[in-house]
Structure 1
């Protein structure tokens, strides 16, 4: 059986893939960081190269 170790960030606009054990988990979803997990309340973008998510 294959174990899933990484997933796409749950933020709809984000293109980041995050390792589950390093992800920010909120409401049973995995995010690449606090900005995405907080639905971009403070700013746009997640500060990862090549990603310009807006939340």
Structure 2
């Protein structure tokens, strides 16, 4: 059985995250701590910037 995935709650993020790996914040699921904290230091969501997102722009 495949794990359940959900889109990251960060508005400009294109990532999906499995329920077990999600960072939960205020009832929403995010793909990383950077997305969950709103990219306050403009850090990419997965540290390498290669996921195709514009959420840290």
Q: What TM-score results when the alignment is normalised by the length of structure 2? A: 0.76
Q: Deviations over 1:1-55 (max 9, x none)?
A: xxx8110000000000000111000000000000000011122431352223138
Q: In 2, Cα distance between the equivalents of 1:14 and 1:7?
A: 12
Question: Is 2:55 the partner of 1:53?
Answer: yes
Greater percentage in helix? 1
Gaps of 5+ in 2: none
Unaligned 5+ segments in structure 1 are none
Following TM superposition, the consecutive aligned residue runs of length 4 or more in structure 1 with deviations greater than 4 angstroms are none
Task: Say how many residue pairs are matched.
Answer: 52
1:5 counterpart = 2:13: no
